[in-house]
Every structure is written in structure tokens, then in C-alpha cells.
Structure 1
Amino acid sequence: MSDAFTTRMLNVSTGSRERVVDLTRDCEDFLREAAAGRDGLLNLFVPHATAGIAVIETGAGSDDDLLAALHTLLPADDRWQHRHGSPGHGRDHVLPAIVPPHATLPVIAGRLELGTWQSVCLVDTNRDNPSRQVRLTFLG
């Protein structure tokens, strides 16, 4: 495999509750090895039908605000046609249309180029699946 393209699977435990998991440090650790000081792009992809990637502020309540907004947009009730799993699970399958399962971010001199308050996060509203994978890919 070329040095210009490096990929790794990250395993993330989300437990049995809705979560926003900050992956920024994991991305930085990956880029230290994969980018080795080069410019390029970091792509994150979640190969799950019920999770997404968001670039948001964390630690100041924005992660909880995001989950609250998703509850307003996608209530966990019986309106969904997709009905297996926990009550309201059908909304989890609509989540990736709002919080996409991917993000592509700039890497400059081997470092993730984020704004001051931005973090890269896994958004998981599916309480039935406590283990997630996120594919990190550096292209540079």
C-alpha cells in the first residue's frame, strides 16, 4: 500500500445509551503516524446504518444539545415503519440522513485542521448496538 493512502479501523464502545463520542484525539494519534508531517485529507466513515460523524464543539453542552435536537427531529416513538429493536429504533435508521456517516477534513503539515472549538465526533443514538467501528483514512 502506498504511503499516500493509509487506513485503520477504530473500535468504539458506545454502551447502551445515546452518545456523542469525541474522536479528535484518536484522529490526531492516527495522523501522527499516517500523515508524517504531510498535507492531505482525513476521511472518517462509519460502516453502520444507525450512526454518523459530526464536527461540533464538545464539553460545553453542545453534544447534549445535539442529542436533544435529534430527539426533537427524530422522536423515539412508534411512528417509524422500521420497527425491529428498541421502541423508536426506526429513527436511528434515519439519523445518517441528518448526521452523515462520513466526514472529510483537511490535514496541514500532518495536523488536523480544525477550528478552535471544533471536535470530530461519532454520533450514536442506537442503544441496541454498543460497539461501533470508524474507518480512518489519510490520503496525502
Structure 2
Amino acid sequence: MTNTFTTRTVDITTGSTETVYDLTDHCAHFLREVAAGRDGLLNVFTPHATAGLAVIETGAGSDDDLLAALRDLLPKDDRWRHRHGSPGHGRDHVLPAFVPPHATLPVVGGELELGTWQSVVLVDTNVDNPHRKVRLSFLG
């Protein structure tokens, strides 16, 4: 069987507050269109210096817990050398070291192979940029 590679960019509006944006439906829709029941890998990538991707449970408080943990770990204050943008914006540029801008996930039978409570999310703490791009790429 010959492997095929298909990629697409999704535009996401995260708004003016820190957010954990669920991308799972975007991923599933993309795979329904391109995977054709094949096994492979889905790579999710966001080309931004101030956002990241995670696989976590959502809707039961874990998304808010993640944002709270990031606020504790990366306070929004004047300690950051990177100072353009809103106060504390330098922390947003450190975020991808803790929440990377990429994830590679298994696809089995054309469907994302996630655990029962897992979701693919965009983590965006940068309130200065509400418009994000996410690249979905399937190899299978």
C-alpha cells in the first residue's frame, strides 16, 4: 500500500481571553475526508510562537485547571524580558516550551485513536492575537 500525505490549514478564533480550544471535531472531520479508513498518523501543528497543543480531558474542569497551572508556572507580570504587547506577554512566548506547538497522534481505521476522555486542544494564553492557524496533516 502506498502512503499518502494530505494537509490542510484550519482557521481558529480563540477570542480575547486565555483559552483551551477543542480541536477534536476538526481533526475527526479532516480524517473522515482524507483517511478513507486507513491507518496512519495525524500531525497537528500551530505555527505560532505563543500557542501550543495538548491532549487532555475537557469539559470536566481539566481545561480550566491547565490554564490555572500555566498562570502559576508562568505568571503574567513584569519579570519577562520579552515585553511587547500587553503586560506579561513575554510569558506567552515561553508557553511553547511547556505546551509544544505540535502533536502526532495515531489513526486506526481512519479514526483518531484517542482514549475515552481525551481531546486534542489548542492552548492559547495570548490575548493579543485571537486569530490562529492549525495545520492538520495525515500520513497513511
* Range class of TM-score, shorter chain: over 0.9
CA deviation profile, 1:36-83 (whole Å, cap 9, x unmatched):
100000000000000000000000000000000000000000000000
Q: Give the Cα separation in 1 of the matches to 2:85 and 2:36.
A: 43
CA deviation profile, 1:11-38 (whole Å, cap 9, x unmatched):
0000111000000000000000110100
Identity value in percent: 77
Relative to the length of structure 2, the TM-score reads: 0.98
Q: Give the Cα separation in 2 of the matches to 1:31 and 1:17.
A: 29
Q: Secondary structure at the match of 2:12?
A: strand
Question: Which stretches of structure 1, 4 residues or longer, exceed 6 Å deviation after superposition?
Answer: none
Q: Name structure 1 gaps, 5 residues minimum.
A: none
Give the residue type in structure 2 aligned to 1:11.
D
Question: Paired residue for 1:116?
Answer: 116
Q: Name structure 2 gaps, 5 residues minimum.
A: none
Q: 1:139 Cα deviation (Å)? A: 0.4
Q: Give the Cα separation in 2 of the matches to 1:99 and 1:36.
A: 31
Question: Paired residue for 2:12?
Answer: 12
Q: Give the Cα separation in 1 of the matches to 2:93 and 2:30.
A: 29
Give the residue type in structure 2 aligned to 1:59.
G
Question: Paired residue for 1:131?
Answer: 131
Q: 1:10 Cα deviation (Å)? A: 0.5
Give the residue type in structure 2 aligned to 1:34.
V
CA deviation profile, 1:86-123 (whole Å, cap 9, x unmatched):
00000000000000000000000000000000000000
Q: How does 1:1-140 map to 2 (within 5 A)?
A: 4-140=4-140
Q: Give the Cα separation in 2 of the matches to 1:34 and 1:4.
A: 9
Tell me how many residue pairs correspond in the alignment: 139
Give the residue type in structure 1 aligned to 2:106.
P
Give the residue type in structure 2 aligned to 1:24.
T
Q: Give the Cα separation in 1 of the matches to 2:55 and 2:3.
A: 26
